[in-house]
Chain A
Amino acid sequence: MNDRAIPVGADRGYYRRMQAAVEELLILKGVFTAADVTRQVEAMESRSYERGARMVARAWVDTAYKARMLADGSAAAEELGLRVGPLRLVVVENTPEAHNVIVCTLCSCYPRMLLGIPPEWYKSRPYRSRVVREPRVVLAEFGLRLPDRVRIRVHDSTADMRYMVLPMRPAGTEGWSEERLASLVTRDALIGVALPAQPSHSRGLRPREGRAIDSPSSRALTRRNAMADTIRRLDYFVAQVPDQPGQGARILEALRNEGVNLLAFSGFPSGKKAQIDLVPEDPAALKAAAKKLKLKLGPAKACFVVQGDDRVGALTDTLGRLAEAKINVTATQAVTAGMGRFGAIFWVKPRDAAKVAKLLAVG
C-alpha cells in the first residue's frame, strides 16, 4: 500500500497530470467519452445557489409549497423543474426563535446537485472544526450577530442527507414578485452564515458575497453585482472636550465601563477645543451614562450609517442619489472593515434629514 501521497520528486502539477492520464485511459477503455466529461463540467457550472433562491422565493409566497418543501426538499426542487438526481435534500426553516447553520465536519458534503460547488471556506478546516463548536463566534466573523434569544441549530451532514436553510422573508417585501424575492437570497444565506439581503434602494439587483465569484461562467469574472446595503438613520450626540492627548481614550473608556455600545465615533478639532460625535446603539443608555460621568451632551441630531459588502464604488450609488436630489452632504467618512465589509457615516443639515430619510427609504 502506497502511503506516500505525493511521490518523491513530484511537483505541483502532479495531480493535474494524473487527472489527464486517468481521463485518457478511461476514454480509451470506453468508460466515457471526452464529451461526457465536458457535459458534466457544464452541468455543474449551470448549478448555482440561484436554484435554491428560487425555491426559497416560492416558499415565501406559497405556504403549501413551503410545507411540501420542508417535508421533502428534493421533490419540491423537482416541482420547480430543478433536476437534482439522487440528492436527498432536507430544508430547515429559520424562525424568530431558531437559526440554522449547515456544515459537514467529516468532509464537505453539500447539496451540489441543487446548488453547485460549495465555497472553499465551507470545505476548510477552520469552518468545519469551529462552526459546530462555536457557531456564534464563526457567524460573527461572517458579520452575522443573532439576538441572544435565538437558538442555533447546527446541522452536521454526516450521512446521506444534504441541507439547505430556508431563511426568513425580509420585512418590507410585501407584494414583491418571486423573481425579486429570489434576488435577496444569497448562497451564504442558504448555508446559514448570513441573512438574506434587506430591501433597499438597490432595486432588487442580486446581492453578492464578499469577493466571491458565484457563477463560474467567464462573464461572472468581470461582472460585479450591486449589493443591497443597509442604511439607517441614527441619533448622534455631540460633546466638547479639551483639545489635548487622551481625551478620546478617556471618554471611550468611561463609556465602555458603563456598557455603552457605540455604532460610530468621530473626533476632530473645533475652535480651541475638540468635538466628539457619539452614535450610540441605545441613546437612552448613552444619556444615562453621560449623566453619571458628568459628560455634557448636545441634543440628539440625525446622521446616516451605511453598511454593506465592500466593492469598488461602494458609496457612489448612495451619494449619487443625494446629489441628484441636490442635497449638500455636510461630512462623510467611510472605511473598509475587512472581511469584505465597509461602513460609512454621513451628515446633512437638520432640515434635510427627513428628506434624505425618505429618499433612501430608511426608518
Chain B
Amino acid sequence: MFDLSRLFQILCTHRVEFMIVGGVAAALQGAPVLTLDVDILYRVEEANLVRLKGALEELNAIVRGDARSLPLDEDQLRTKGHQLTSTDAGPLDLLGSIHDGLRYEDLIESTQALEVVKVSVRVLSLERLIELKRELGRPKDVAMLPVLEATLRERQRR
C-alpha cells in the first residue's frame, strides 16, 4: 500500500535533508506522468544519515528484493549508490547521487519547495529534470521528455 503522504511526513518529521527526483518530482510539478517508484536524493552527511536511518526505522524499511528482510545500515546509505527499499508506505528508492555523480549539494539550488499534505518538501525543478534527462539520453528518459517539455511550456504561458 502506497502512502506517500505518510512517507514524506515521516522524512520531514525526522528533518531528513532530501529532495524528490524522477517521476514523482515531475508529477508534483504538474506533469501528467505515471511512475511506479518514489526516488529521493538525500544528503550524504553523517548527521543526516542518522536522521534518515531513524526515518527508515519508523517506516520499517527493508532492502527490496532480499528475502532476508534486512534493514539498511548506515554504511549502505553512505555510498553514492542507489538503495532500493520496501517500506510500510511503499517502495522507496534512496539515491546518494544521480546522473554522473551529482549529489544533493550539487542540486539543492535547482529545487523548489512545495507544500504537500501540510509538509514542505523539496523537488528537483522541472527545468533541471529536463536537462538531466536530455543528458542521460536513455530511451526511458527520452520517452518522458515531450510531456515534461509540454508541461514546462504550458506553465510558462500561465
Chains A and B belong together in one complex: no
Question: Which chain A residues have a beta carbon within 8 Å of chain B's beta carbons?
Answer: none
Question: Which chain B residues have a beta carbon within 8 Å of chain A's beta carbons?
Answer: none
